[in-house]
Structure 1
Amino acid sequence: MPYGSLSLPTRIFLLAWDTGRNKITGAPDLPLAVRACALAELAQRGLVSDVDGIVTPVFGARTGDAVLDGLLELIEESRPRTWRGWITYKARDTRDGVRDQLASKGYLRTERTRVFGIFPSRRYELERAGYVEVLQAEVLAVLRGPVPVSEVPAGDAALVVCAATGKLRGVISGKDRRRYRDRLDALTDRSGSPAPQLPELMRGLRKALASAVSAAEDARAGGGGG
């Protein structure tokens, strides 16, 4: 997927857009999926690792990407947390940072509005619908084949796994998640291909994302929000 400098968290944010309705739909837990993608990219770059289940950063390391570096700094400055802990802790901060980053690069358009005519707010609209439609089609091609998993780039594999596990229903349906369960398992391992220790880490990250999404769904079903 030739997406230049776009990071994994920015790409999964774009995936969630319904280009016909020009808004995000079918992704109630998008902040969790965005944060999981940010962690996946940091792991693939060798900037965070798993030490006895704890997310451990390379102190002082930076990527040059404001969102990824912001997360690295947060991990450095905070108490130790598991993968699920970092998927949920202040996840909306990463989502908001990605949204602003995409707006600054021209993928989104912002419009200043006022709620009830009083409170200032911003509305975001998609500027590059064709780009997103191609991205969505290529994500489905990675999920469904026929390209062998061994030929899928690690970043693309991580993107598809996080989109499926994060339940971005607008691009990957529940039917597809069930039908391609075995391929998703293989893509999870493929997403860890940059280093020998990464496949196990990526399996743990996927499990943590699934657990976080399930807890958020339970909270909404019980009237506790999400």
Structure 2
Amino acid sequence: MDMTLPQRLYLLSYDIDGNRFDPVSTPYRGHLLRAAALTELIIGGLLRDNGGRAERTGRTPDDPFLADVLSGLSPNEPGHWINAVPDREWKAETTVREQLLANGSITVVRGRVLGIFPSRKVTLDHPERVRLLRERTRDAVLAGREAASVPIEDAALAAIAVEGDVWTVFTPAERQRHRAEVKALRERFEAEVPGMLNAILTAVVNRRAGTS
């Protein structure tokens, strides 16, 4: 599945059996999508950590959403990761959804509730592919593998899902049973994508408190 990390995270947030999105992480999904984008930019060498701040390397990605996320960061003055995650998060889900609609991954049916309020129903065009993506991401924690052996993109998606409380990937009970594996995965992610875990946690806590 040749997709960006934000696109994969969006699909992972969909409950295939329930035909709906994970309700727990819905209020801050835009933050998580931006965190996934920032993570991909770091992995791709377009961003780097400079003393706890996000520093651009001067390159620009081809993907429009990644490019938009990168454009929000100053090319001259490195900024805090904590500020990069919530920046313009309100537009992230719409942008990623339209990308997935364009590439044939989802179908979006628009309507109105009671003939007044706009509604939007998203369905997966290829649920079997999303199941495979989900199992691959879950295996990063549940398969008993060494954290260092997990491909970094899989480790990143799993770490973001854990920190973002995405129940369609890991339930609270699974995270509790696999505390050691989750801890090792977090340490791997933090080593390769420094500052992102704290930025995600801060965004989630602030969103739940209604401050962002």
Please indicate, yes or no, whether the TM-score normalized by the shorter chain is above 0.5. Answer: yes
Partner of 1:153: 151
Contact 1:83 1:208 in 2 (8 A): yes
The alpha carbon displacement at 1:75 in A equals 1.6
Partner of 1:20: 17
Q: Distance in 1 between matches of 2:56 and 2:19?
A: 37
The alpha carbon displacement at 1:55 in A equals 1.3
- 3-state secondary structure, aligned to 2:79: coil
Q: Measured at CA, do residues 206 and 86 of structure 1 come closer, stay the same or move farther in structure 2, by a change above 3 Å?
A: same
- 3-state secondary structure, aligned to 1:110: strand
Q: Distance in 1 between matches of 2:75 and 2:107?
A: 33
Identity %: 28
Task: Output aligned runs, 1:22-41, within 5 Å.
Answer: 22-25=19-22, 26-28=24-26, 29-41=28-40
Match of 2:127 among 118, 126, 129: 129
Q: Measured at CA, do residues 155 and 114 of structure 1 come closer, stay the same or move farther in structure 2, by a change above 3 Å?
A: same
Whichever residue aligns with residue 157 of structure 1, its letter is: A
Whichever residue aligns with residue 212 of structure 1, its letter is: A
Count of residues in Structure 1 that have an aligned counterpart in Structure 2: 210
- Structure 2 length normalisation: TM-score? 0.87
Q: Distance in 2 between matches of 1:78 and 1:114?
A: 45
Whichever residue aligns with residue 174 of structure 1, its letter is: P
Q: Distance in 1 between matches of 2:207 and 2:118?
A: 29
Q: Distance in 2 between matches of 1:165 and 1:120?
A: 31
Q: Measured at CA, do residues 78 and 125 of structure 1 come closer, stay the same or move farther in structure 2, by a change above 3 Å?
A: farther
Partner of 2:141: 143
Q: Distance in 2 between matches of 1:128 and 1:83?
A: 34
Q: Distance in 2 between matches of 1:208 and 1:179?
A: 25
Partner of 1:98: 96
Q: Distance in 1 between matches of 2:95 and 2:76?
A: 19
Partner of 1:9: 6
Q: Distance in 1 between matches of 2:9 and 2:159?
A: 11
- 1:205 and 2:196 equivalent? yes
- 1:72 and 2:70 equivalent? yes
The alpha carbon displacement at 1:202 in A equals 2.2
- 1:53 and 2:52 equivalent? yes
